[in-house]
Each structure stands twice: as structure tokens, then as C-alpha cells.
Amino acid sequence: MTLIDLANPSRFLALTARVLPWLAGATVILLAIGLYQSAFAPDDYQQGATVKIMFIHVPNAWLSMFVWGVMSVASLGTLVWRHPLADVAAKAAAPIGAAFTFLALLTGSLWGRPMWGTYWEWDARLTSVLILFLMYLGLMALWRAVEDPSRAARAAAVLTLVGAINLPIIKFSVDWWNTLHQPASVMRMGGSTLDKSFLIPLLVMAIAFTLLFVTLHLAAMRNEILRRRVRSLQMMQASRIAFSSEMGAGSREENASKEAGAA
């Protein structure tokens, strides 16, 4: 099956039916391994056991940006290639991305209180991630506000691409400005500064959460395709009812004129 075959929603539905159980199984296994490794990871010499929050906070923070990246590629697909599944992919990803961003903010706040002495600080990293969360909510509101999915898709695609400017701002905010948030310690020039005892569970959890996103995204895309099928069938049903009532009215008028002529 090539990528072009997946442009057909029916083929996509058949593929998801086959793939989803395997993806869900792999996600559960990797999450179980990641949680086990996180539970038995050693305490940090400075942070103590609170370092365990990192194993849940960092994957969510990565995914908050990754999901917007996926939506940006899908938006290009909508505007440039007019791929039939592109806006389905973007729309289905938004609530999942919003949930991951919310978790990144919440767990970051819960990690910040014991380590920084505050739940929140209006610094560049925290504020730019909060803006990302609000943009997710704005996109979801836009999709709900416009009834026609194709019109909503074009407006949402433009907004998503404009919003992608925020991704490098989030990533480099800790380098460009003096922030309370620590600088990058995993994805950086010169390699990770994390010890293997923290890095391995963190990577396992990051892969597990990425698989979770892929699973949920495919399932949400399947739902969106079915929702559009329901919508088009309801419109067909409504037009049939309107047509048959017009036909009924037409034949009644014809009969009435025949009767008048006979009289």
C-alpha cells in the first residue's frame, strides 16, 4: 500500500482497523516498561525523588510541540496538495495536542513548586507553552464554529501555520532569554547531559507517549471520517425528503388542474 492509496478514506479506515490493536498493544507494553523503569530510577543528588516528575513532564512537553508540527505538515497538505485526509489529521490531532500541553504545564508546575519555590513564573519558556495551549483551544473553537468542514479546514490550516512560529520560540526560549527553566539537557549539541540511569527511562517513556499519540490520533481520525460520512448521509437524506415532498406537491397541483379542466 503506497501513501497515495491512503488518500482514499475507505482504505484508510481498513488500514486503521488492522493496525490499531497492534499499536495499542505496543503502547501498553512500552508504557508499562517505562513506568517500571521510572519507579526504580535512582534519586537525583540535588532534586531527590522529584526527578521522577521528569519522566512524565518531558514526554508531554515534547509531544505538545510534536503534535503542532504534525498539524503544520497536515495544514500544508490541506493548502498545497489538497490531500483529502490532511484536514482530518489536523482536526483530530488538536484535542490530543491540547491534552499533552495541559499535562506539560500541570506537571511542570508541580515540579516547579518544590524545585523553584513557585508553581508559576511568567518567564519565556512557561509563557510560550501557555500560548501554545491557548492556540490549541483557539483552533478547536474555530473548527466548531464553522459548520462546513472544508471551509473550516482552510482557515484552521492558515492559523496552524502561523502558530508554528511559536515552536522555535518555545525550543530556544531557554537560550535566548534568561529563564527560570533549565536549558536543554537531552537534545543539544554535544550530546545529552543526563546520566544513563535517567536517560533510558526518559527515552522509553518518550517513545511510549509518542506511540500513545499515534494510536489516539489514528482512532480520532477514524472517528472524524465516520462523522463526515454521517454528515453527508444526513444531507442526502434531507435532500431526498425535500425532493419527494416537492414531487408530492407537484403531482397534487397537476391533479387539481386536471380536475378543474374536467369540471
Partner 1 sequence: MSLGPYASFIVTSYLAAAIVVAILIGWIMIDYRSQTERLRELDKSGVTRRSGRSATELR
Question: What is the C-alpha separation between 206 and 63, in angstroms, rounded?
Answer: 8
Cell 513564573 maps to which residue? 121
Residue placing its CB nearer to partner 1 in the complex, 86 or 104: 104
Single out the residue of 91, 189, 92, 201 nearest to residue 146, CA to CA: 91
What residues contact residue 7 under an 8 Å CB cut-off, 6+ apart? 83, 84, 85
* Choice between 124 and 212, CB closer to partner 1: 212
CB of 161 to partner 1, least distance (A): 25
Give the separation between CA 161 and CA 7, rounded to whole angstroms: 22
Q: Tell me: does residue 19 bind partner 1 (CB under 8 A).
A: no
Q: Which stretch binds partner 1 (CB under 8 A): 36-44, 68-76, 151-159, 169-177?
A: 36-44
d(CA 107, CA 57): 5
Considering the rule CB under 8 A, would residue 56 count as an interface residue with partner 1?
yes
Binding residue (CB under 8 A) for partner 1 from 118, 150, 237, 251? 237
The distance of closest approach from Cβ of residue 262 to partner 1 in the complex, given in angstroms and rounded to an integer, is 37
223 binds partner 1 (CB under 8 A): yes
CA pair distance 118, 114, nearest whole angstrom: 7
Residue 188: alpha-carbon gap to chain centroid: 25
Q: How far apart are CA 83 and CA 226, in angstroms?
A: 17
Q: Which stretch binds partner 1 (CB under 8 A): 11-19, 80-88, 126-134, 189-197?
A: 11-19
Which of 32, 162, 233, 242 binds partner 1 (CB under 8 A)? It is 233
Q: Which of 7, 33, 50, 84 binds partner 1 (CB under 8 A)?
A: 50
Nearest distance from C-beta of residue 187 to partner 1, angstroms: 21
For residue 91, state whether it binds partner 1 (rule: CB under 8 A).
Answer: no
* Smallest gap from residue 158 Cβ to partner 1 (A): 26
For residues 86 and 74, the answer to whether their CB atoms sit within 8 Å is yes
Interaction between residue 242 and partner 1 (CB under 8 A): no
Please report how close the Cβ of residue 79 comes to partner 1 at its closest, in angstroms.
27
Element (H, E) at 238: helix 196-262
Q: Which is nearer to partner 1, 119 or 176 (CB)?
A: 119
DSSP assignment string, 148-166: SHHHHHHHHHHHHHHHTTH
What burial letters (b/e) apply to 72-91, b meaning 16+ CB within 10 Å? bebbbbbbeeebbbbbbbbb
**Which residues lie near partner 1 (CB under 8 A)?**
10-11, 13-14, 17, 39-40, 43, 48-50, 52-53, 56-57, 60, 95-96, 99, 102-103, 106-107, 110-111, 113-114, 212, 216, 219-220, 222-223, 226-227, 229-230, 233-234, 236-237, 240
